[in-house]
Amino acid sequence: MNRTAIVSALVAGSALVGASYFLKSRRPGPRALASGIIPIITPVIDLRVAEDVLEAMEHVPGDAVTVVLHTLGGCVTSCVLIANALREFPQSTAIVPYMATSGGTLIALNARQLQMGRSAALSAVDPIVNGLRAKHLPENPTDPMQAMAQEYEGAITRYMRDTLAARLPGVDEEALWNAVSVFMGENTPHEWPIRRDEVAALGLPVSPSARSWTEMVDTYRKRWW
């Protein structure tokens, strides 16, 4: 399958947070490593990946978890399930050595601490419905896809507002909604890279990730991608 193929049938009838993916044969699912480290290193976060991650989180000893993200996104439901589980940990860290775009960004921003590599990027998280950004679907009140698109757009916008409010305590509403608009891709393509300095400029706490995390992702990529 071509790397830029649109996977609109990833999960029948659901929206995606991420449009273009390269699918390969299934690799071993994420498992909690030493000290509660869970690698989410996969092109697509589908329901099987979410199931594996949730299982791994349930077996993390203590209240601290670290997720290492390298992904292009995936199914909205899958990414929100992982993000919700991450919210439950009193100590959580998301590490993005290279990229965690779309649904990967949604997960990363729900960790209490965010670390990004020197060239790493996040992206917008607005939903994809039927291969198109929900905001770009032609207006047609009789089209059930239009109604679904509006539901997903509203739900993700509210979810991101809650996510960023937790990451930006005490920030005024104008600054909060400015951050929301950036991560909803108001003025950019869906997968346009958001660099570490741009994340910091929004007021979000972010720090550089150690080189060892890059080496970990490299090992996974060479073995499974």
pLDDT single digits (tens) 137-163 = 888 878 888 889 999 999 999 999 999
- Residue 199 CB neighbour total at 10 angstroms: 25
Superfamily of domain 16-224: 2-enoyl-CoA Hydratase; Chain A, domain 1 (3.90.226.10)
Of 22, 24, 26, 27, which Cα lies nearest the Cα of 5? 22
Encode pLDDT of 90-130 as tens digits.
Answer: 999 999 999 999 999 999 999 999 999 999 999 999 999 98
* Six token digits for residue 73: 């996104």
CB 192 within 8 A of CB 185: yes
Encode pLDDT of 52-65 as tens digits.
Answer: 999 999 999 889 99
Asked if the model's pLDDT at residue 13 lies above 80, the reply is: no
Minimum mean pLDDT among 12-16, 58-62, 80-84: which range? 12-16
Place of tokens 């996977």: 7
CB 71 within 8 A of CB 45: yes
Q: What are phi and psi of 196, to 5 degrees?
A: -60, -40
Quick check: helix, strand or coil at residue 179? helix
Dump strand ranges (E) for 42-134.
64-70, 74-75, 91-96, 113-116, 121-122, 128-129, 132-133
pTM for the model = 0.86
pLDDT of residue 204: 97
- Residue 215 CB neighbour total at 10 angstroms: 10
